[in-house]
Amino acid sequence: MKLGRLNHVGVATPSIERSLDMYRTLYGVEPSSPPFDLPAQGVRVCFVDAPNSQVELIEPLGPDSPVAKFLEKNPQGGQHHVCFEVHDIAEARAHFEGAGVRILGATRIGAHGTPIFFLHPKDTGGVLTELMESPRQAH
Amino acid sequence: MKLGRLNHVGVATPSIERSLDMYRTLYGVEPSSPPFDLPAQGVRVCFVDAPNSQVELIEPLGPDSPVAKFLEKNPQGGQHHVCFEVHDIAEARAHFEGAGVRILGATRIGAHGTPIFFLHPKDTGGVLTELMESPRQAH
């Protein structure tokens, strides 16, 4: 296992629209595509591009969303997770399981259409960490 | 003002050494250079490279460190800030001041040897944000 690209920083927000206004006004950037729902994960997301990486804006789809609890503690929003790419998600999962790191749920398809899973922040220095298989065209 | 590279994600830690052990074991990466002190900022830092960006590990130099308060709330550590590059730090500062964003202190020299300043998280969707002038060789 070797750390791949920092694909994105996940930022929770009570309103993607208001966050996009901020990114337009303060940083001069538009989203790379319109916001879209990930119902299986209980979130609506939207990506904003920096030249080398992305910010993923994450809004809860409802009160049961995993992001809703984060926003209760941080009503304004804030840094929610980081996402690193890996070459092979199954290999990565076996590696982290072998290292005794707790994995949050099953491997599933993430916002970029490739398999992902999350590591428990208590096993990663307090940083909720997503591992994402690199999109094929990136190889 | 146009958002530049995501230079790094700043991660607070009670112990850079223990964090480096974790990055070695879990992610197979070594620091890009040894940890070093930034006494003016009250922190000790160390950078770990992903292929396209970096993680900045930040340990308080003492109880008065700005990171010490963060660690009181998050004893394990966690995501502390994000840092985006800008072409011209003075131009960026004027832009954010003009937009009414609160800036935390003076422009000063940061961990990469170029001028930086921080934006107040209450004006940036809860994300403590560092702006850093791109190193010359990056242009």
Tell me which amino acid residue A8 is: H
> B80-98: b or e for each residue (b if 16 or more CB lie within 10 Å)?
bbbbbbbeebeebbebbee
Task: Tell which phi-psi region holds residue B105, choosing left (phi > 0), alpha (psi between -120 and 50) or beta.
Answer: left
Average pLDDT over residues B20-24: 96
pLDDT of A2 reads 84
Query: Which of A50, A79, A99 comes nearest B79 by C-beta?
Result: A79
Q: Cβ separation of A96 and B26 shorter than 8 Å? A: yes
State which residues of chain A have pLDDT below 50: 138-139
- pLDDT of residue B138 exceeding 80, the answer is no
Is B130 marked active-site? Answer: yes
pLDDT of A41 reads 87
Per-residue pLDDT tens digits for B32-58: 899 999 998 899 999 999 999 999 999
* Complex ipTM: 0.94
- pLDDT of residue B2 exceeding 60, the answer is yes
Nearest-neighbour CA in chain A from B75: distance (Å): 8
Interface residue B100 vs chain A (CB under 8 A): no
Cα angle value B86/B87/B88 (rounded, 5°): 95
Per-residue pLDDT tens digits for B90-118: 999 999 999 999 999 999 999 999 999 99
Q: A95-98: long-range contacts (C-beta < 8 A, 24 or more apart)? A: A95/A1, A96/A1, A96/A131, A96/B26
pLDDT of A14 reads 97
Percent of chain B's residues with pLDDT above 70 = 98
Query: Is the CB of residue B43 less than 8 Å from the CB of residue B59?
Result: yes
Domain ranges across chain B: 6-138
Nearest-neighbour CA in chain A from B78: distance (Å): 4
Confidence band, pLDDT 50/70/90 cuts, at residue B139:
very low
The architecture (CATH level 2) of A6-138 comes to Roll (3.10)
Q: Is the dihedral of CA A22, A24, A25, A26 positive or negative?
A: positive
Give which of A120, A124, A139 to mutate to test B binding, by max B Cβ within 10 Å. A124
